[in-house]
Structure 1
Amino acid sequence: MASVEKRIRDGRTTYQARWRDDQGRQRKKSFPKKGDADRYAATVEADKLRGTYIEPSRITVAEYAQRWAESRPHRPTTARRTEMMVRLHIAGTRLGGRRLADVRPSEVQAWATDRGKVLAPTTLRQTVGLLRSVYAAAVLDRLVASSPVVRVQLPRHEKERVVPLTVEQVAALAAALPGRYRAMVVVQAGLGLRIGELLALRVENVDFLRRTVRIEWQFTVGSKGERSEPKTPRSKRTIPAPHVVLDALAAHLAAYRAGDDGTIFTTRMGSPLGHVYYGYDLLGRAATKAGLPEGTTSHDLRHHYASVLLAAGESVVAIAERLGHEDASLVLSTYGHLMPGSDDRTRSAIDSAWATANAACAPNVPRDAPAVR
């Protein structure tokens, strides 16, 4: 049972509530008034009986977030991104220094508003989601009674619709690159690969006879040529290879020797290309030279691939499989507006539904009424 003891030190009187936690360890907390100590002791005992007892802890938000991040079974790229988000946007803020159990919803809202000044809307939502996960784990660990990450208002963000590159624009982008790297644009646009999948492609992954390309590995940012598992289980896939891709690969391999481990696209020194060098340095300059829209990246080649398949009438499920998506709904949400003939289908659907009602809804015009000119 919890108890309260009067203590006098240096002429100052305090009242110390003492109790044992659910692990049998002795705990204590001091109060200036006996009534406060009595109430706290009674609350502790009631919480223990209800099973809602929360262990007092001085751990800060940043400390717990770092422990949480280290304990997650994240992939290397996700682990690096999570560590950076915790370090910059939690530990590096006033909220990070607050005790985990002392944070109020208003403080979380103030923190989110402040982060909104320096983060893009999508990144802000990811950061708030991370903090929400941290507090969810803290609730399970019984370090807090409830999460303060509730009803957080974020800036409204309208996701821009994808405007895919045309075949002519992709060809211009390839032509603007040095000869050694032109095939990379054709292969990425012709297979819909993620940048890491493109960079990790090996000769053994290409079956010229069966006209397929097998995606099994990827290079992550900062991987320094070390291959890792693709983004999701469905990212391991076999993609039908069109002639334009196979011809580009054959010409590239005839002109440029593959790496010692079979990597198809390498630098002049024979080493694998990095994300930044290909995706930003090479493509960035080429996009400007080709007069493509500002902000064009390698991911736009993946969008191009999906748009071409949609225009050809390929099913959403098949496109999701080719892209390595877990869920076909992502294809619909990203590319639904590109579905061909949607305007005509909308008109036809409404006209068909109202066909039987046309006569009843037609205006009753007298036979001798003058014609409208």
Structure 2
Amino acid sequence: MSRRSGQNGRIERKGNALYARFWLDVPGQQSRAYKCVRICPVSGPGSLNKFEQKRRGKEIIAEFGANSEATLREAEAVNLGTTFQQQSERWLKSVQTRKRNPIKPRTALTRASYLSYLNRQIGEMPLSSVNNLTVKDCVIAKMAAELKDGAPRFSPKSITNYVQIVKMVVASAVDEKGEEIYPVKWKNDFMDLPVIEGQNKPSFTAEEITTILSEAEGQYQLLFALLAGTGLRIGEAFALRVEDIRGAVIRVRHSHWNGRLYSPKTKNAIREIDLHSSLAEALHDHIAGRVTRSHSGPSYTIT
């Protein structure tokens, strides 16, 4: 166990029977309970020799989970009284400040919006009570029943994303050894988690892009052409600087959000993109005519 070694218990006689005595962590109790469980009669039918008595005593201790880390962690989770909302706040802070792969501020904002909804449903529940049944009844069923303008408010993909946040919050409660305090074996079938089918990423046709560009003006026309011709994310386009343009090649090195530059969404997002000759020409014409000094130093932004 994480805080104490295993126990063998002891055998005690009471009247005409032998009993196993051992300590057991109990949810809701700060102190361990001293359990007394019958082993066998002292003599006659059902009696056991000393070797068998000890073996049965150890079996009883194992059946109760007295030496189990899971039993201890379950008791700790209840005794600490941590609610889902309290743990969610700790988790959201930790994933932003951890040294290994901290999440971006924009991702943190999205997860905070998820938690705002989840905390209205299960925020006051003890973390130890958040399990498959809780998520099924208090999260998935409620989300599936919500309507907006007569249509389901949440898609199967959205519901799956919210449930994933619940799983991560519960798993984030760990002991001093980094072991989950309340491990849950999540069962998507039991929870009735909806199946994601027929996902479609909406995209513009060539005719629609032509219409958009014909109705746009100035730097917006160039921005829309750049997005359509390169597949850049909007934050990546806003983060482009003059030094990122080399002839007909764009080097993607940053992403822009909320007035600041960050590293791109993933390591693979750091890349070079070849431009069509007409798009490269339009981009260089724009740079030559409208270069603005950046707030961040002697570098120049495109837009």
Shorter-chain TM-score bucket reads 0.5 to 0.7
One-letter code aligned to 1:105: N
| TM-score, length of structure 1 as denominator length | 0.55
Counterpart selection for 2:68 from 50, 57, 65: 50
> Does the 8 A contact of 1:187 with 1:248 survive in 2?
no
- For the pair 1:134 / 2:169, whether they are aligned, the reply is yes
The 5-angstrom pairing of residues 220-259 of structure 1 reads 220=257, 223-224=258-259, 226-259=260-293
- For the pair 1:212 / 2:235, whether they are aligned, the reply is no
- State the secondary structure of the residue aligned to 1:124: helix
Give the corresponding residue for 2:149.
none
Deviation for aligned residue 1:114: 0.8
**Structure 2: 5+ residue stretches without partners:** 1-6, 10-21, 38-59, 96-101, 147-152
Q: Write the deviation string for residues 248-290 of structure 1: whole angstroms up to 9, x where unpaired.
A: 212322442334341111xxxxxxxxxxxxxxxxxxxxxxxxx
Q: Could you tell me how far apart the structure 1 residues matched to 2:221 and 2:111 are?
A: 34
Q: Could you tell me how far apart the structure 2 residues matched to 1:143 and 1:236 are?
A: 38
- State the secondary structure of the residue aligned to 1:49: coil
> Does the 8 A contact of 1:186 with 1:248 survive in 2?
no
Deviation for aligned residue 1:169: 2.5
- State the secondary structure of the residue aligned to 1:234: helix
Give the corresponding residue for 2:141.
113
Give the corresponding residue for 1:275.
none
> Does the 8 A contact of 2:82 with 2:127 survive in 1?
yes
Distance change in 2, residues 1:109/1:177 (3 Å) = same
Q: Write the deviation string for residues 108-151 of structure 1: whole angstroms up to 9, x where unpaired.
A: 10121212324333222111011112223347644325356653
Q: Could you tell me how far apart the structure 2 residues matched to 1:112 and 1:198 are?
A: 37
- State the secondary structure of the residue aligned to 1:252: helix
| TM-score, length of structure 2 as denominator length | 0.66
- State the secondary structure of the residue aligned to 1:213: strand
> Does the 8 A contact of 1:212 with 1:238 survive in 2?
yes
Deviation for aligned residue 1:160: 4.2
Distance change in 2, residues 1:122/1:188 (3 Å) = same
> Does the 8 A contact of 1:212 with 1:241 survive in 2?
yes
1 or 2, which has the higher helix percentage? Answer: 1
**Structure 1: 5+ residue stretches without partners:** 3-17, 266-373
> Does the 8 A contact of 1:183 with 1:249 survive in 2?
yes
Q: Write the deviation string for residues 60-108 of structure 1: whole angstroms up to 9, x where unpaired.
A: 112112212221232222222222211x222121x22111112342221
Q: Could you tell me how far apart the structure 2 residues matched to 1:149 and 1:68 are?
A: 23
Q: Write the deviation string for residues 298-331 of structure 1: whole angstroms up to 9, x where unpaired.
A: xxxxxxxxxxxxxxxxxxxxxxxxxxxxxxxxxx
Aligned pair count?
232
1 or 2, which has the higher strand percentage? Answer: 2
Q: Write the deviation string for residues 336-361 of structure 1: whole angstroms up to 9, x where unpaired.
A: xxxxxxxxxxxxxxxxxxxxxxxxxx
> Does the 8 A contact of 1:188 with 1:194 survive in 2?
yes
Give the corresponding residue for 2:158.
123
> Does the 8 A contact of 1:186 with 1:244 survive in 2?
no
> Does the 8 A contact of 1:135 with 1:147 survive in 2?
no
